[in-house]
Amino acid sequence: MALKKMSRDSYEKLVAELDDLKINRRKEVAERLKVARSYGDLSENAEYDEAKNEQAILEAHISELQYTIDNAEIVEDSNISVDEVGMSSKITIKRIDNGKVETFTIVGTNHANVREGKISDESPIGKAAMKKKVGDVFIVEAPAGELRFEILEISK
């Protein structure tokens, strides 16, 4: 299993989210189960079924976060390269066909948020930009066809 690279900030957010799920959300779901059980016959109890389903989804999410944390490789800010695109790089790219310039930070999947300018290293643009240098052109396959981008700047 390859380690999943992420910034210290991303790692700490995942740990905080996991703690919240384990401490607070588990209690909430357990309370919902307790209340639903008090309604009697479990075979026809929609609230109980819903609470059990919510519990299963919660536990799956906790397991997924724990796995990600256990297999994380933290990329410290001092190790972020400005020579080539990598995890936690801030990149400024230009779309060649229309000249539109955008700036993104490459983050792990759990912290991607396009509105905040954070794209996943597994997204089409993130994946295609990895290991590229300033001046490099890369191609992204999109439903509308090939999109070409040029790396204008790489920073921390």
Per-residue pLDDT tens for 41-81? 767 778 888 889 999 999 999 999 999 889 888 877 666 66
What is the reported pLDDT for 92? Answer: 95
Residue 125 burial (C-beta neighbours within 10 Å; 0-12, 13-18, 19+): buried
Mean pLDDT score across all residues of the chain? 88
Per-residue pLDDT tens for 71-108? 888 877 666 667 889 888 899 999 999 999 999 999 88
Q: How far apart are CA 122 and CA 26, in angstroms?
A: 30
Per the listing, tokens 């779901």 go with: 29
Closest CA relative to residue 111, chosen from 75, 82, 142, 84:
75
